Each structure stands twice: as structure tokens, then as C-alpha cells.
Amino acid sequence: MNESAAGAAGGDQPVLEAVGVSQHFTGKSSTGHRTKIKAVRNVSLRLFRRQIIAIVGESGSGKTTLARLFSLLHQPTEGEIRFQGVPVDRSRRGRSAYYAEVQLIFQDPFGSLNQLKPLRHIIGRAVRLHTEARSRSAVRERVHEALEKVSLTPAEDYAERYPSDLSGGQRQRVAIARALSMNPAVLLADEPTSMLDASIRLDVLNLLRDLRDQESLAMLYITHDIASARYLSDLIAVMYGGEIVEQAPTEELVAAPLHPYTRLLLESAPNPEHYKDNGAAGAGSLDDEDEAEPVDVAVDLPGCRFAARCPQAMNLCADRNPPLVDVGGRSVACWLHLTDDARPNRHEGVP
Ligand code: SF4
């Protein structure tokens, strides 16, 4: 991976890191045979403090499985997840310590909040579980502070409300406030705006961006929507077929995408000016029903996994999967960007 790009927004020590992680499952192929599904293949990623990395890809790309590996919901088949340079301890105590530092924000703010309790209870419970605050006044203070950070003010008033009293955008703010109440180092946000109205998506993205700056948070933002990734992130990692196929600082990647799949994603994305105006997302994205094309990660093809859809595919692409290599300070996995010397067979299928 491109370490220099990854470290551009933060310090030298990554706060969260995937080191050569793979996740294999056993499933059924399209012919009904049991087969090994390689949902994530040898992915390395380094996230630094005050940095937002967007992991972008369509359904089946492996981005959600990668998010689950970072969430400790799966144990990697190969490789490891490290927090502040140390492999994560998966014991009960170790996981509890990890979740105090790495907080998750889900797609569905309604489903992730207890509808029967007021916000002071929902956020207060997280404070009691994961911080030193014990007295009623100390917990109340943390709850109010968290609500203020997400602009749900006056905090005393919102603390007494129930999730059902709130709009979708306000519920997502509560989910973020609950995460913040534990003073985490990292937010792991899995499609946090996909269930919100277009008009309030931008509010939530702006809030996340402000939190990066004001709280020095690091963030992994998982999305199918490259337009929102462009709006929010410092660095984009594009996934296809379980692998990172391109990774670069956001503006560099958008200005000059190297991988044909990144180009396809960008061509399908809404105009960023339109996005800024009203938070619209998804229009023309590859997850739209009529555009979606499932990625068959179950089949371990020998060649580039994008070859069947790639307008620039060469003979070589059907035989060998390109490695992720550094190209001018960025990372890309495509034979088009490897020099002839680096290709396995200089005379095979080179245009
Ligand atoms: Fe296209 Fe070949 Fe590059 Fe794959 S390696 S993206 S098929 S040109």
C-alpha cells in the first residue's frame, strides 16, 4: 500500500492498521458446488490520527467484510488488525478496551438506539460501560458534553427526549454522540448516511468532518458512494473483488484516476457541485439496481478480477492478477501501470 499517502494527514504511527488481512468463507458457487469465498484478499491499510479514509466499492467488493474485520465481528483468516501498533487482544477484556477506542456507527440509526429509553439513558449507559465516570453528575456531564458536540442543544432538553421524538438526521447525531461520549480514537462509520434523506446527508458528513478536526479523530468511512467519499475523505481506497485496486489522496485520485474501475466509479457518480448543493448521492452510482453487476468473489480467477468489465483489458489480464504497486507515490493494481520489466511476460498481450 501507499504508506506515504496514508500518512499525509496524520503522524508517523498509525492508530489503526490492517496488516495483510484476508477473510475466507465457505459457500456455494453459481453451479451449486461448495467453494471457498475469498471476500477479502491480503489487504493492508493504515489509518492515522486526524485522517479520514474512505473505503469505496460496490456490493460484493469486500468493503463491508473489511469493516467487519476492523469491528472484530470476524477474525481474519490471515493477517491481523493492530491498534496503535499492537495486535488486537480478542479476549473479552481486550475487546472491551478496543471498543472504548474504536467506536462503530451503523447505517440504521433507528435500529441501533433503544427506542424505550431517553437519550440520557442511551448515552449514559455507554459512558458507564466504557469510561471512568460513575457518579450521576459525572455521567450527566459527559452526556451533555456529547450532545453539544453534535449540536443537539440545549443538551438538557435533548437528554430527556426519546429516539422516536427525533428526525433521522438527529438520530444519527445521537448515535455519533454516544460514540463520542467514550472519547474514542477512531470512528468506524459504515454507510452512515445511506438511510438518511438527501437534504440531511450533508449535515452528517459536515459533522463528521468537523469532528476529525476538533476531536483529532481518525475515521474509516465505508461507502458505495464515491461522491460522498470525495466530499469527506483525505484518502480513498477503492476495493474490487476483495482487494484494494487503487489508493491515493482523495483529490489526486479524483483528478487523475489510474485504475479503470476507479474511472468507472467516478463517471457514474453525481456531479460534486450537485452534491454540495443538496447532499444528493447515489444517482448513477454502481449500486443502482439497473447498473449493479455482482462481483463474483467466490471464483478464484487467475487473472485480473476486473478483466470481464474492463474496456482496456489485454491478453495478459486474463492470466495474471496485477499486484498493488507504488506508482508515483500512489498505489494501483493494474498491468497498464506496471513497466514492461515488471510484467511477468513482456511479450504477452502488451498493446
Ligand atoms: Fe483492466 Fe487489465 Fe488493468 Fe485489470 S489489469 S484493470 S483488466 S487493464
In order, the DSSP letters of 163-179 are GGGS-HHHHHHHHHHHH
What confidence score (pLDDT) does residue 179 get? 92
Residue having the nearest C-alpha atom to atom 3 of ligand 1: 334
Cell numbers of 151, please? 449540536
pLDDT at 6: 40
What whole-number distance in Å separates Cα of residue 9 and Cα of residue 52?
A: 8
Q: For every one of its 351 residues, what pLDDT tens digit does the chain have, with 9 covering 90 and above?
A: 434 344 444 458 999 999 999 999 887 666 677 777 889 999 999 999 999 999 999 988 999 999 999 999 999 999 999 999 999 999 999 999 999 999 998 887 777 788 899 999 999 999 998 888 889 999 999 999 999 999 999 999 999 999 999 988 899 899 999 999 999 999 999 988 887 777 788 888 999 999 999 999 999 999 999 999 999 999 999 999 999 999 999 999 999 999 999 999 999 876 655 555 554 444 334 343 333 334 444 456 789 999 999 999 999 999 999 999 999 889 999 999 987 666 665 444 443
What is the DSSP pairing of strand 52-56 with strand 78-83?
Answer: unpaired
Given the DSSP bridges, would you call strands 186-190 and 218-223 parallel, antiparallel or unpaired?
parallel
Cell 453539544 belongs to residue = 148
How many CB atoms lie under 10 A from the CB of residue 87?
12
Question: β-strand 218-223 against 243-249: which pairing, if any?
Answer: unpaired
How many Cβ atoms from other residues are within 10 Å of residue 218's Cβ? Answer: 25
Answer whether 317 contacts ligand 1 (Cβ < 6 A): yes
Given this model, what pLDDT does residue 29 score?
Answer: 64
Q: Cell 459536515, residue? A: 206
Amino acid at 207: L
Output the CA 149–ligand 1 centroid distance in Å. 45
Whether residue 260 has its Cβ less than 6 Å from ligand 1: yes
Cell of 80: 491481523
DSSP classification of residue 271? P
Question: What strands lie across the sheet with 102-105, from one edge to the other?
Answer: 102-105, 186-190, 218-223, 52-56, 235-240, 243-249, 330-332, 325-327
The residues pairing with 21 across neighbouring beta strands, listed in sequence order, are 43
pLDDT given at position 200:
82
Q: Which of 240, 245, 295, 314 to probe ligand 1 with, by most ligand atoms within 8 A of CB?
A: 314
**Ligand 1 centroid to residue 338 C-alpha, Å:** 11
**Alpha helices by DSSP H, 216-347:** 226-232, 250-255, 260-268, 272-278, 315-319
Question: What is the pTM assigned to this prediction?
Answer: 0.86
261 neighbors 56 (Cβ within 8 angstroms): no
Nearest residue CA, atom 8 of ligand 1? Answer: 313
Count of CA atoms in the C-beta half-sphere (13 A) of 104: 17
Cross-strand partners of 330 = 327
What is the residue with the minimal CA distance to atom 5 of ligand 1? Answer: 334
Which atom of ligand 1 is nearest the CA belonging to 311?
1
Among candidates 263, 101, 254, which has minimal Cα distance to 184? 101
**Cis peptide, bond prior to residue 260, ω within 30 of zero:** no
DSSP 234: S
